[in-house]
Structure 1
Amino acid sequence: MPDPVTTAPPADPNSARPAPDTTPAPPVRVALLGIDGSGKSTCARLLARRSPAARPHVVLSCLRPHENPGGPLGELSRHLDVLSAEADRLGSPDLKLAVLYLQMCTYGVAERFFTGQQTGAIITERHPLIDTLTYLPLYRRAIGAVVAPGRPAVLRRQLARMPAPAVQAALAWCQALARRTGGRAPRLDTLGEELVGLLTLPPEAMVSEFATRFAVTPPDVAILLDIDVTEALRRLRARDRRLEPHERADLLPLIRDGYDKALRTFTSVRVHRVRADHRPPHDVAAEVARLAGL
């Protein structure tokens, strides 16, 4: 006689449901771009004030991680800031570019650190990939005016006259970068010329090269704060500090055009242009927040 058919009890509908995913969504990464005087810093501060308490917005400096409260690499950043000012004082564009590169190599460390801090959005003034494509052509012109067969020796003499702790910190960072990439350590006396040599690469190849070097990826959203050069210069001259070498009437239009050209390479990035002159800062920040989905 066959066994009777056993009927299984009805399944509990709740037991079949997968457990809810409590992993927080990654922060949206927003890069604020624009020539000096366009209002990037002011906009970033206003966006940070609008952030929710549960998953706040974090504002990061692309170049100076010592300005990121609670972030990593603060001591190194202060030393690099010293070297950057020294390069300006000496009028050394190739050394300035070398230090700028080392500063940009700190950004990926800071971005990864704050990504793991229950952050809702990471807002950065500038972005290492986009700004490299924007500014590198200007440095090529400046470095071309000073480069000569004995130039590395000149840079070594300049470095020898700079504060030793800052130089030692920069050299240690070069060694750390070599360990990270498995390559050779950057040399401060030849790095600037090496970097402008990468301009021979196609734009997409340049992005790939610097993404590997900086250990970063493009932002999710790029906001270009567009401003008339005359208004930008008026704002810059009203500040209580000396102008940077590139903050000039003949160079700011080139930087403005450089951003337009660079952004065309980043096809995966949502790009928005926002007029930032002759408008209240709160209005600009509100438009940026809407466009970035903050």
Structure 2
Amino acid sequence: MRVALVGIDGTGKTTVLRRLRERDGVGVVHAVRGYENPDNPGAGLSAALSGASLAAAGGRTVLADRHPLVDPLVYLPLFARARQEDAPGTDVDAWWRKQDPSAARAVRCWLRTRTGDTDAGAAGTEVLHWGTLPPDALSETLARHFGVSLPDGVLLLDLPVSEALRRTGERPRGGELHETEAFLAATRERYDTVLEHLSRTRPHLTVRRLPCSGLSVDEVAAEVRDAVAAWSA
């Protein structure tokens, strides 16, 4: 069974899944930060892609930290609306120069494999355009380009924006550029919209919201464990 754990930044997705992997041996795949799980077969490429953005285990059930179909339905329309119309110009060249050379080579190889070219600006513009598509068309486009399908279940870790901001601000590296009150509020609203759409149009997909305000990592992990066990029964 494939279950995606989703939610706005600061809800503790990565931490909860790390706890479940360490204590219960649950298979975990990190859809965004794959390098955080050394068992992930794409860990090397994930580390390279993570560097660019900054300048599977066994078992019958696999939990994913985010999902390459569910989360783009949330984020891409938001990014598309915020898109700057200015051409990237020399910004793309500067972006390449900020990366470690070996990481940049890996990213260029990935771009060439996926798009037939190494033009990161063109690839980004195309992906942003996908964010203007209706939900079903966007899902089909993502599935076709990345060879993925929807999971069997989606667990949304739900947290008030104020609490999420406090948590992200307490991280050793601090909060990220996009982790603002306005953006997190818009993202939280988009999750509601997307999951309601998926529940209505994909009746085979099980969706559950897990409120996690004020709960410890162990308490949230137990909620996730119980939900997955109930679905797998």
Report the TM range for the smaller structure's normalisation: 0.7 to 0.9
Corresponding position of 2:154: 222
Mapped partners of 1:121, 1:186: distance in 2: 36
Corresponding position of 1:170: 107
Mapped partners of 2:39, 2:148: distance in 1: 20
TM-score, normalisation: structure 1: 0.70
Query: Which amino acid is the alignment partner of residue 41 of structure 1?
Result: T
TM-score, normalisation: structure 2: 0.87
Mapped partners of 1:281, 1:64: distance in 2: 19
Query: Which amino acid is the alignment partner of residue 98 of structure 2?
Result: M
Mapped partners of 2:50, 2:131: distance in 1: 25
Corresponding position of 1:11: none
Q: Secondary structure at 1:200's aligned position in 2?
A: coil
Q: Secondary structure at 2:38's aligned position in 1?
A: coil
- In structure 1, stretches of 5+ residues that fail to align are 1-27, 87-113, 179-183
Query: Identity rate of aligned residues, in percent?
Result: 35
Corresponding position of 2:175: 243
Q: Considering only CA atoms, is the larger Rg found in Structure 1 or Structure 2?
A: 1
Shift of 1:166: 2.4
Mapped partners of 2:6, 2:155: distance in 1: 6
Corresponding position of 2:20: 47
Q: Spell out, residue by residue over 1:93-140, the C-alpha distance to the aligned partner (whole angstroms, 9 max, x if none).
A: xxxxxxxxxxxxxxxxxxxxx3xx642221111111111011112212
Q: Is the 8 A contact 2:26 2:58 kept in 1?
A: no
Q: Name the stretch that deviates more: 162-171 or 236-245.
A: 162-171
The residue correspondences of 1:60-75 to structure 2 (distance < 5 A) are 60-75=29-44
Kindly report the root-mean-square deviation, in angstroms, between the aligned alpha carbons of the 2 structures: 2.0
Query: Which amino acid is the alignment partner of residue 224 of structure 2?
Result: V
Q: Spell out, residue by residue over 1:178-204, the C-alpha distance to the aligned partner (whole angstroms, 9 max, x if none).
A: 5xxxxx446302122211212332211
Q: Is the 8 A contact 2:4 2:66 kept in 1?
A: yes
Q: What count of residue pairs does the alignment treat as equivalent?
A: 225
User: Which residue of 251, 254, 262 corresponds with 2:194?
Assistant: 262
Query: Which amino acid is the alignment partner of residue 171 of structure 2?
Result: R
TM-aligned CA distance change 1:253 to 1:274, over 3 Å: same
Corresponding position of 2:217: 281
Shift of 1:248: 0.7
User: Which residue of 258, 272, 277 corresponds with 2:208?
Assistant: 272
Query: Which amino acid is the alignment partner of residue 70 of structure 1?
Result: D
User: Which residue of 174, 183, 188 corresponds with 2:120?
Assistant: 188
- In structure 2, stretches of 5+ residues that fail to align are none
The answer to whether the aligner puts 1:120 opposite 2:52 as a matched pair is no
Q: Is the 8 A contact 1:231 1:277 kept in 2?
A: yes
Mapped partners of 1:240, 1:81: distance in 2: 17
Q: Name the stretch that deviates more: 246-255 or 151-160.
A: 151-160
TM-aligned CA distance change 1:232 to 1:159, over 3 Å: closer
Q: Is the 8 A contact 1:39 1:276 kept in 2?
A: no
TM-aligned CA distance change 1:49 to 1:156, over 3 Å: closer
Q: Is the 8 A contact 1:143 1:193 kept in 2?
A: no
The answer to whether the aligner puts 1:153 opposite 2:89 as a matched pair is yes
Corresponding position of 1:38: 11
Q: Is the 8 A contact 1:226 1:273 kept in 2?
A: yes
Query: Which amino acid is the alignment partner of residue 77 of structure 1?
Result: S
Q: Is the 8 A contact 2:157 2:210 kept in 1?
A: yes
